[in-house]
Chain A
């Protein structure tokens, strides 16, 4: 049995060259089972290129390193910050000078939920 549907006429010369197309999941996600999407709300990360309404791709399997943008749990909510080392101490910084940094040793209960690996920003909004 032929795999493609039976067609009258000549077969397309491109038939043997058909590719499956580009799958953005493959481009953006290395660890599918531990990767989640979140929606950004607010402007505290604009200088890191992350804007209000953007789609954030977060990998929970990665260990957060200074310099990376992370989702932290602060006061019972997912909060977007950059993990930074400052004078030998870790802190969470906004990427917007209007927001003060947060020293980790001063706030008892901060948990890093995941590391943001991509941000998807729409240039044209649909609907």
Chain B
């Protein structure tokens, strides 16, 4: 009963969030100084007034804003995300195409940053005060203060332009037919954007794990374990991991939002054809249906990240279940 109630509340919150977000996005875009037609044709002088009006009508821009919004809402409820103006294709098709590419980037980055971060955090806590700890902490602070795009650019300059070890961007080898592209090719092209995105996520997890692990290690039960003669590794394994993993998991799921933001920037730097670069283009060219579609999908993405975090927390932590 409690669980059903919990899920229902979450679902309601999710729906109101999406509704509110879509209204906000629409209002912002509607009032933005970018005229979609001008953005589409690029300030060109050759288009006649009749042609311009035909476009307005075709795109439904001559209707009042609330009609435009309700029309969009009506369609979306029926599962129709609309038609992109700049791509002249259904929004769902574009998102489907690009979302997979983004997942391919974000998924591994998420796992990697989580694992590496957790490992470093644990290591730092165990070696508290030592040079390993200091180095890891210093490294984490450095990462946290480095902007994604700058890190991406640096990696690009060093590994692609100077060393020529890795490709400059895009997700497939140049000039190779799709059938001939191997998994290895794809992985090879994924290295740099993946590294950028993972490195950015590590700092957060590291510092939280370190803090939590330190807390555990300085607890009385660990002191007791030590007196019983357990080795450091045994203590970490038996007492530390489970206790410090929990907040990290929640944190890692909550990190979905930042991951998405980081991905937008990393995709720009590495010309990676994911959702992020599409979002930027849609925003700059005032492509309302596409922008709204991507915003909604990413909101669902971030929201479900947080929700999973909550659910896993409940499942793993028996104390929360009873409440």
Q: Do A and B bind each other?
A: no
Residues of B within 8 A of A (CB): none
